[in-house]
Structure 1
């Protein structure tokens, strides 16, 4: 019986789950893989799923999809929009949405496996399916590896993965070399001296300290990194205080840093620390700030030879004009941990999910940024067709390129 992929996608979209809480999603994916005849293990790296299809002698191909959602309130207006709530690690109830397309990733994975199972008489080797949790935390791949999957499953000859983006549906973006940036997530705690809002002279105000720090941090990318290079310094959250007439004792900043290489990474991290400590000193802080690393993600680097093979396979299946070089994305991914730990080549590509007509109209009007929602937007949702079909074709044809 053919799996209804549209029904699967809309169901997953309506029932998103936060990182390391993807129990329902994992159970659905695991059951589909079992129904397709794979050996399945659940609870890998907390909520991850691994499926194996051993189909004779030949290469070992790992294919990976992530499945966690984001604390975003959906505003797409779709009939199948999420109204789900979840509890974040701080214990706060938050809206939850598949604002990054991971529901589409799981759907395309299940469809690709179904296709490969149907065609198993035409290939030989071992397919290992990774349904990964907590990509949004940058922690899920590491959790699955630390849980020992490399010791329980055949090591890959290649690792493959894909991500839906606001490219037009029908377009694939893939390039050799650095496909996505490296990243660090930091929490900076600035320590002041709290007191009454009417007596600021008797305090050391961490809110003002934080404001000065945020503004100065923006000069790293604009004034310290070569304009021909790439660096992103984003302060994604600021938390300080509970009441308007109380100057708090501390302020917390959460930073997202992106760079293409280790040299730039070291420069940016050094500059962040210098600025944070200098602004604290300039504010008269009596205690040094605390700088904590939440995660470190390596650059997503596509192997040249393997990428050439995948590109050729995608061009054969979808047409040469449908496969483009999208340039380096400044977003980051944890998929490369699988390839790095295994010593295997990686190929990771993007596939379009935007309505091609709307995309063309927005491009013609110079309004892509305004009119085409991007990943992590409350308005982001790929068009169902042909996004599902292209994702299935891309992943299955890439895997077939390596399976004997």
Structure 2
């Protein structure tokens, strides 16, 4: 265990007492009991109980999704969101609070997200004189599956809570703990997963002339797809076309009658996405026609994530608020990430502007040593790694404060406090 994962008995939030014991234990409980997408029943119950105790009006929306609304006079409405689901990963951190569920782990830091938003919700509830307006805390299921936000929207989220003036979110990343990273515009790519089925004509392996070989057809498609980025995408534009799986046949001497390809497509621009998808369809159909395929190919989309593109004015406002509260040195310019999220689907459903920032979770000394050695990727476990283990503090402390500072940029002037 990294010594930075040890927890100080008490710390302060903006110079005022913070219940660090409660926050730390909440996080450890979440980490010990991870739950997969749409199975977040224990997490949902914990969140619901805590929000109710804080005085929020609580609803379950989208199955395991939980929303807490706290109205506190006239003013803007701010919505903050955290995702709750874990991953099918076997934990290898060796931490004393490691996952107790075999084969399931909070390897992406959603336990940090839940604990930080609960901490912020408690701060807001216990300090009504510090702000005015409405604060909404959204705990979303199934981000990893790409459908949790859409399920909440489909279950009537927009009609069940006040319309937010702004939607806020954060994600813990392998950056130095104690730092934040913000950026206007695209910060996370849009992503589409696609299943393509191509059809051939089966035959004995010794009689290839009697077949339309879907294995050869699929191989030709894989090679041709590589030209979409290298020859059809303008230099400087971002696009990824990955063939993650190619499946065909069952035996060496049998030519099968079909093959399936699983693709992952990513971009930062809707126009690029449209061109890439059109190129994939054109290439696949063209190769099938050239091979004499007896049936047209089939295209099926799944695990689709929208683009996360931060509103400029919202991002500038909260970046200034972060710099004022944490100090300019603690707030970085975020790099665009090729990973994807479904956070923006909630904001888009309301037609509300949003900003999504990154929260550092890596041991600062280890991170700096890795930077000096030029081996950050190798030495600092990234999200989805079985070794991913954000240091508890200051990660949680800053995560709570970031939610509150961003909300207070709209709802009030001074930072609230919390006590045991």
Equivalent in the alignment of 1:5: 23
- The TM-score with structure 1 as length reference comes to 0.90
Equivalent in the alignment of 2:385: 377
Which residue of 108, 113, 117 maps to 1:109? 117
* 2:133 corresponds to 1:125: yes
Give the total of aligned pairs.
394
CA distance in 2 between counterparts of 1:396 and 1:247 reads 61
Worse-superposed segment, 182-191 or 305-314: 182-191
CA 1:68–1:238 in 2, change beyond 3 Å: closer, same or farther?
A: farther
CA distance in 2 between counterparts of 1:155 and 1:372 reads 40
Q: What is the RMSD computed on CA atoms of the aligned residues?
A: 2.3
Deviation at 1:11, TM superposition (A): 2.4
CA 1:168–1:194 in 2, change beyond 3 Å: closer, same or farther?
A: farther
**What runs of 5+ residues in structure 2 fail to find an aligned partner?**
1-17, 413-420
CA distance in 2 between counterparts of 1:211 and 1:15 reads 43
Worse-superposed segment, 385-394 or 247-256: 247-256
CA distance in 2 between counterparts of 1:241 and 1:47 reads 40
CA 1:253–1:4 in 2, change beyond 3 Å: closer, same or farther?
A: farther
CA distances 1:5-34 after superposition (whole Å, capped 9, x unpaired): 222223222322222221121111111111
Equivalent in the alignment of 1:162: 170
CA distances 1:94-119 after superposition (whole Å, capped 9, x unpaired): x3322221111111111111122222
Query: Is the CA contact (8 Å cut-off) linking 2:54 and 2:126 kept in structure 1?
Result: no
Equivalent in the alignment of 2:57: 39
CA distance in 1 between counterparts of 2:203 and 2:355 reads 55
CA distance in 1 between counterparts of 2:318 and 2:350 reads 20
Deviation at 1:242, TM superposition (A): 4.7
CA 1:387–1:287 in 2, change beyond 3 Å: closer, same or farther?
A: same
CA 1:118–1:195 in 2, change beyond 3 Å: closer, same or farther?
A: farther
Equivalent in the alignment of 2:236: 228
For the residue of structure 2 that corresponds to 1:4, the secondary structure is helix
Which residue of 85, 107, 120 maps to 1:68? 85
CA 1:344–1:98 in 2, change beyond 3 Å: closer, same or farther?
A: same
> How do residues 4-403 of structure 1 correspond to structure 2 at under 5 angstroms?
4-42=22-60, 44-82=61-99, 84=101, 95-196=103-204, 200-242=208-250, 246-403=254-411
CA distance in 1 between counterparts of 2:249 and 2:28 reads 40
CA 1:27–1:322 in 2, change beyond 3 Å: closer, same or farther?
A: same
CA 1:37–1:245 in 2, change beyond 3 Å: closer, same or farther?
A: farther
CA 1:121–1:337 in 2, change beyond 3 Å: closer, same or farther?
A: same
CA distance in 1 between counterparts of 2:42 and 2:30 reads 9
Equivalent in the alignment of 1:92: none
CA 1:13–1:247 in 2, change beyond 3 Å: closer, same or farther?
A: farther
Query: Is the CA contact (8 Å cut-off) linking 1:138 and 1:295 kept in structure 2?
Result: yes
For the residue of structure 1 that corresponds to 2:88, the secondary structure is coil
CA 1:214–1:22 in 2, change beyond 3 Å: closer, same or farther?
A: farther
Query: Is the CA contact (8 Å cut-off) linking 2:34 and 2:106 kept in structure 1?
Result: yes
Equivalent in the alignment of 1:91: none
CA distances 1:335-359 after superposition (whole Å, capped 9, x unpaired): 1122222122101111111122222
CA distance in 1 between counterparts of 2:82 and 2:132 reads 22
CA distance in 1 between counterparts of 2:259 and 2:22 reads 49
CA 1:244–1:367 in 2, change beyond 3 Å: closer, same or farther?
A: farther
Deviation at 1:247, TM superposition (A): 4.4
**What runs of 5+ residues in structure 1 fail to find an aligned partner?**
86-94
CA distances 1:250-301 after superposition (whole Å, capped 9, x unpaired): 3332222111112111111112212222333444432222111225433212
